Amino acid sequence: MFVNLGISGKSGALLGVFLTGLVMGFGSFGSDALARDITLGGHREEDQHSKTDNQFKAKLPDNAVALPRLVASVQNRETGRWQRVLVDAYLQTSDPKALGQARDHVKDIAAAAKPQLQARPAEFLESAHSGVREAKDAIRLAMEEALGHGWSGTIYIRSLAVF
């Protein structure tokens, strides 16, 4: 099916083919089958993750509790610039009473750990071995402050990043 525009030659034939394709193309947009295949962006519910930023993917044992991610800014005393510290840690003990207290005061422990981390220089936290030790000491002092007594369990550092 070609449209006869009264223009002879190659240009007339090409213009007719173009207009015919254009008319047929607009006619197919009314089809419901093609309209269902069009996506306009956005997101789907199954693409969203239910995991929050402060939770581990791994399942912890029953005698352990995860702390929220600890974020603090520390100053490097050599260069004078400020650096960010991220600590993912969890607590483990065999005493159910102490574990229950730690679960009840998780947010208090995290809040008390931030100034404890800020009191340490970035050089110590950047070090491979002493960085983990310093982070554990900061969390242990924060736990003593939040709980009102010493912590007899173990503190594990899952990740420590200074940048």
Q: What are the structural domain ranges in the chain?
A: 10-47, 64-162
pTM attached to this predicted model:
0.64
CATH topology of domain 64-162: Tetrahydropterin Synthase; Chain A (3.30.479)
C-alpha distances in Å from residue 5, one per residue of 15, 114, 117, 160: 9, 79, 81, 75
Q: Using CA atoms, how far apart are residues 56 and 52, in angstroms rounded to an integer?
A: 9
pLDDT at 121: 87
Q: Using CA atoms, how far apart are residues 117 and 122, in angstroms rounded to an integer?
A: 9
The residue among 85, 64, 61, 81 whose CA lies nearest residue 73 is 85
Task: Per-residue pLDDT tens, the chain, 163 aa: give them.
Answer: 555 555 555 556 666 666 666 666 555 555 555 555 555 665 555 545 555 566 556 688 899 999 999 999 999 888 999 999 999 999 999 999 999 999 999 999 999 999 999 999 888 888 888 999 999 999 999 999 999 999 999 999 999 999 8
Tokens of 134: 């310093």
pLDDT at 127: 86
Q: Using CA atoms, how far apart are residues 1 and 134, in angstroms rounded to an integer?
A: 82
Q: Using CA atoms, how far apart are residues 134 and 77, in angstroms rounded to an integer?
A: 16
Q: Using CA of residue 113, residue 116, residue 122, residue 128, what is the dihedral sign?
A: negative
pLDDT at 16: 66
pLDDT at 90: 95
CB 86 within 8 A of CB 69: yes
pLDDT at 59: 81
Tokens of 57: 């993917």
